[in-house]
Structure 1
Amino acid sequence: MSTTDDSFSVPQDPINMPCPGLKERWWHIMDTWKVGIIPLPLFLLAGVLIAIDCLGGKLPADIVVMVATLAFFGFACGEFGKRLPVVGKLGAAAICATFIPSAMVYYGLLPDVVVESTTKFYKSTNILYLYICCIIVGSIMSMNRTVLIQGFLRIFFPMLCGEIVGMIVGMGVGLALGMEPFQIFFFIILPIIAGGVGEGAIPLSIGYATLLHMDQGVALGRVLPMVMLGGLTAIIISGCLNQLGKRYPHLTGEGQLMPNRANADTTSSQPVVSGKTDVTAIASGALLAVLLYMIGMLGHKLIGLPAPVGMLFIAVLVKLCNGASPRLLEGSQVVYRFFQTSVTYPILFAVGVAITPWQELVNAFTISNLLVIVSTVSALVATGFFVGKKIGMHPIDVAIVSCCQSGQGGTGDVAILTAGNRMSLMPFAQIATRIGGAINVSVSLLILGNFFV
């Protein structure tokens, strides 16, 4: 007979157990019924308050009201995407959080005051850059130093191979469909790998306007839909890669590019969130991210390097030189996790409302365009997968970074990494988007100006 305490416990009669009171039931609803991260009662309250403001004809664009507004709509769209059958597991949450708001704006389903306030808030605050800098700095500070060095040194080779193969495959498919080579490369393939909208599509449209003697608005109208469709394809592929990683765990590092053997001797240097992180450490971690971004802005003024990239390099330098204490590293990691879980879908909603033109996306939905775009992005990602595996990296994580080569800049990186559940890869995604895109645009415009005009 067992002599443990469990053998002497007296089971309670479920019939005579006390029923939970009203207070306990209310707490149960608050803690278990949620839309995204928002308890259902608070979600409903936010909806009522927003509706009252909308009926009054004015929704303030200040940060207090916008936090509630973006959270309400962003998590609603994200939750809808998560609950879709089949595609809910393939990145539909990020797609819905971005493109449902865009469609609602176009079809007039979103109140004008919400559209106006969201657009004003997004464009006046540059909140996307606050999000990106906290994600980049937090993810870098939580990385192992050895993995960080090896990852940055090795990631460029799969990226380069992916772009070359993607261009070749895209050109081949386009030629097979009877499209003109000039049109295929400069107006479909190049916009896909140009680095997004601000760093890719707009500089391309300016270059085309100068070199091809066309109106910049016309050039942008032809380029922008390809950027968006390429980003949409990358989001879907990233979601599929995430599911592939769940089925074949040996192919993924769950956000780490290098295998565990690379950091077996330095695991102790990793900051681990204890759950008791001091509030001042969290505040210091957030301030560190902001200050590093300000240094990146200064670098942009001096040498023209994009501020997120400059910030990325400075953050890596701080990490490699042990410039941040373990307490500060832990604070940065908490900030990173907060933004990852709480700010992603609100940011994607704002992006969908403010800078995602639905009609241009729809206009680009032709069979020939789609075939070229899907084949280009698929070949780019597949090449990253196999090359990454060949050189000893986690192939799924490398492939998700490769997806970011065809994303919509910083916003595309957020959506792609959210769909792939690999937000810790943001530093490498920024390299793929910013540096890779800048090189592609510069070299291609140089070739266009010297050989085709």
Structure 2
Amino acid sequence: MRENTRESEVMYDPKQGLRLMGMPPQWFAVFAAIVLAGSYLGVLPNDMIGGFAAAIVIGTIFGFIGDNVPILNDYLGGGPVLALFGTSICVYLGVFPESLVKIIGNWTQDTQGFINFYIAALICGSILGMDRKLLIQAGWRYFIPLVGGVVVAYGLTGIVGGIMGYGWGKAMLYVAAPIMGGGTGAGAIPMSQIYGAALGVDSKEVFGILFPAVALGNAVSIIAAALLDKLGRVRPKLSGEGVILQGFEFESEPKTALEFTIGDLGTGLLMATSFYIFGRIIEIVIPQIHYYALTIIIVAIVKILGVMPKRLEFAAAKWYQFTVVNLTLALMAGTGVRFLDLKAVIAALTPTYFILTLTTVLGAILGAGIIGAWVRFYFIESALAAGLCMANMGGTGDVAVLSAAKRMNLMPFAQMSSRLGGAFILILQSLLIRLIGG
């Protein structure tokens, strides 16, 4: 069953009416006014308090707007997508003071790393809370549609690039590859170094060419995810409602269901952060694989072996749910401020470049979706996880794409795309740059 990610900061309770962050709008307005006043008066603390408060308030405001504007809500992903793009537009237009941009940026990634905190909760809780049979049955065949999406995205973009005079090789190397390469830190940056070393040029110059494709591809992927969700509602046979494997049925809940306690959140928090740290430890031994991917592998092994007590799995799942429900819009706001560079996207918006970006994303959707159906995956879920989560900006892109599609429970598969799939792209590009050249 689909994970409902809209039961979050913006909620309408039939009994209590409109609720923003779980409180009446007038009370939310009081707290929001305090935070925004602190932001514009320059007294917002540059720490977790300032980052959390600012991102939650700003994300909730944009989330409320996005969830209540018909076109945005119905076709473009609603609140989470507007929280992402709205904050990026505010940064571009200079609406936010520089101090606020710095505080949210630090909180999101730089010195406080909320994005890692968030993704750790998603990896741990979504896998341990997953049906064990689903993980066993779907995991081994997942890389078939992933590779299919890459092949179709590269091939289609190369063909269109050749027809439009951009060059088939250039289209694959400088548009398709960075879009499918796992984002910026684990994709475009190491890819620029690979290209620079192979071509004898400055990697910074190469990165300037690659990054617009990453940013624009991410934006298109988010919008495409919302449209896929819409397609799934119109054509229900294409959608598993968040379940990737066709014909899979969840086991019925046991009669002795575990009762939730506040202490479960603390347990889940410790488990998520500990598994994340364990992934960083293993990365020392296997530096070729990103620690996100290693964390996924570790948690998946624990789940498959069935060695974790049910109570601990339950606690991890509840912490994951708490994080998604309360902090997704905050993360979207932070991501828009820190990662979505509208200047780079606007600079890349030539008609040819835009068409090649659309071609790459479309190829990822069709390749992953159609080939996924051959291995008994649902088209929508396979296109999202194995296709669009290859074409976005990695960790933050995964959150944005799955949030726009309302399928956050696909996060373990999405992270396999971003991390293991991203590593596959880097290996592939180290070969192609020498075969095709610059």
Q: Is the CA contact 1:92–1:419 (under 8 Å) kept in the aligned structure 2?
A: yes
Structure 2 CA distance for aligned equivalents of residues 271 and 218 of structure 1 = 61
Q: Is the CA contact 1:95–1:232 (under 8 Å) kept in the aligned structure 2?
A: no
Structure 2 CA distance for aligned equivalents of residues 192 and 361 of structure 1 = 13
Structure 2 CA distance for aligned equivalents of residues 270 and 118 of structure 1 = 45
Shift of 1:269: 7.4
Report what 1:6 is aligned to.
Answer: none
Shift of 1:202: 0.7
Match of 1:113 among 96, 99, 110: 99
Q: Is the CA contact 1:58–1:113 (under 8 Å) kept in the aligned structure 2?
A: no
Q: Is the CA contact 2:178–2:213 (under 8 Å) kept in the aligned structure 1?
A: yes
Report what 1:369 is aligned to.
Answer: 353
Q: Is the CA contact 2:160–2:168 (under 8 Å) kept in the aligned structure 1?
A: no
Report what 2:7 is aligned to.
Answer: none
Report what 2:270 is aligned to.
Answer: 287
Q: Deviations over 1:106-158 (max 9, x none)?
A: 22111222112112222111111111111111111121111101111111111
Structure 1 CA distance for aligned equivalents of residues 346 and 255 of structure 2 = 46
Q: Which runs of 5 or more residues in structure 2 are unaligned?
A: 1-12
Determine if the alignment matches structure 1 residue 385 to structure 2 residue 369: yes
Report what 1:100 is aligned to.
Answer: 86
TM-score (norm: length of structure 2) = 0.90
Q: Is the CA contact 1:46–1:68 (under 8 Å) kept in the aligned structure 2?
A: no
SS at match of 2:70: coil
Q: Is the CA contact 2:184–2:211 (under 8 Å) kept in the aligned structure 1?
A: yes
Match of 1:239 among 204, 208, 226: 226
Structure 2 CA distance for aligned equivalents of residues 136 and 160 of structure 1 = 22
Alpha carbons of 1:36 and 1:232: their partners in 2 closer, same or farther (altered >3 Å)? farther
SS at match of 2:213: helix
Structure 1 CA distance for aligned equivalents of residues 430 and 70 of structure 2 = 43
What amino acid maps onto 2:408 in structure 1? M
Q: Is the CA contact 1:30–1:41 (under 8 Å) kept in the aligned structure 2?
A: no
Match of 1:415 among 391, 400, 420: 400
Report what 1:300 is aligned to.
Answer: 283
Alpha carbons of 1:129 and 1:38: their partners in 2 closer, same or farther (altered >3 Å)? farther
Q: Is the CA contact 2:264–2:319 (under 8 Å) kept in the aligned structure 1?
A: no
Structure 1 CA distance for aligned equivalents of residues 280 and 199 of structure 2 = 32
Shift of 1:426: 0.4
Structure 2 CA distance for aligned equivalents of residues 417 and 184 of structure 1 = 27
Q: Is the CA contact 1:309–1:430 (under 8 Å) kept in the aligned structure 2?
A: yes
Q: Which runs of 5 or more residues in structure 1 are unaligned?
A: 1-27
What amino acid maps onto 2:104 in structure 1? T
Shift of 1:429: 0.4
| RMSD across aligned positions (CA) | 2.2
Aligned-pair identity in percent equals 27
Matches within 5 A, 1:422-433: 422-433=407-418
Report what 1:174 is aligned to.
Answer: 161
What amino acid maps onto 2:164 in structure 1? L
Q: Deviations over 1:317-376 (max 9, x none)?
A: 111122222221221111111111111111111111123222111101111011111112
What amino acid maps onto 1:203 in structure 2? P
Which one has the largest radius of gyration? 1
Structure 2 CA distance for aligned equivalents of residues 441 and 271 of structure 1 = 48
Q: Deviations over 1:217-276 (max 9, x none)?
A: 22212111101111111111111111222233333222211134x456x5457996x6x4
What amino acid maps onto 1:319 in structure 2? K
Match of 1:70 among 37, 40, 55: 55
Shift of 1:451: 5.9
Report what 2:9 is aligned to.
Answer: none
Q: Deviations over 1:27-79 (max 9, x none)?
A: x9994223465541232122221233234322102222322211100111222
